[in-house]
């Protein structure tokens, strides 16, 4: 391998590394933006940063980056993905993440079932 081939290989590896770095930083930025929007939507609820990080990661991997017009649905999915309704919508209790809610994946999960009359 001569000097020119080594320089070309170095530039190629550098370009791949730069592309991967930019992609990962944009992905993290989208998740941080989603986390900020959810935190701002529910200032009256208590939940950990870890819960929010896990939820945002799951939403991003399942659905991609949500658009602004989809935020109402994402907020609903957030609440359904926690134990909020299982605790009778008690705003004083800290939320715990259960699983990313999706009616086709976990259709038996009905957090409102205890509200319905028997």
Any idea which residue has 């945002």 for tokens? Answer: 56
pLDDT-based confidence at residue 64 (cuts at 50, 70, 90): confident
Render pLDDT for 23-58 as a digit per residue (tens, 0 to 9).
Answer: 444 447 888 999 999 999 999 999 999 999 999 999
Q: Taking all residues of the chain, what is their mean pLDDT, rounded to a whole number? A: 79
3-class SS string, the chain = CCHHHHHHHHHHHHHHHHHHHHHHHHHHHHHHHHHHHHHHHCCCCECCHHHHHHHHHHHHHHHCCCCHHHHHHHHHHHHHCECCCCCCCCCCCECCECCCCCCCCCCCCCCCHHHCCC
* Residue in the structure block whose two tokens are 């705003």: 91
Length of the chain: 118
Q: Could you tell me the pTM of the whole model?
A: 0.68
């Amino acid at each position: 391998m001569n000097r020119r081939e080594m320089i070309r290989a170095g530039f190629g590896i550098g370009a791949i590394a730069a592309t991967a770095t930019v992609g990962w930083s944009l992905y993290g930025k989208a998740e941080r933006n989603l986390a900020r929007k959810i935190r701002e939507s529910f200032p009256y609820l208590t939940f950990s940063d870890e819960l929010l990080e896990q939820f945002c990661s799951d939403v991003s991997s399942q659905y991609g980056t949500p658009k602004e017009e989809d935020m109402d649905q994402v907020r609903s999915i957030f609440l359904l993905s926690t134990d909020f309704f299982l605790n009778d919508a008690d705003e004083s209790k800290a939320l715990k993440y259960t699983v990313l809610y999706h009616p086709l994946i976990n259709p038996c999960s009905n957090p409102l079932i205890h509200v319905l009359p028997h």
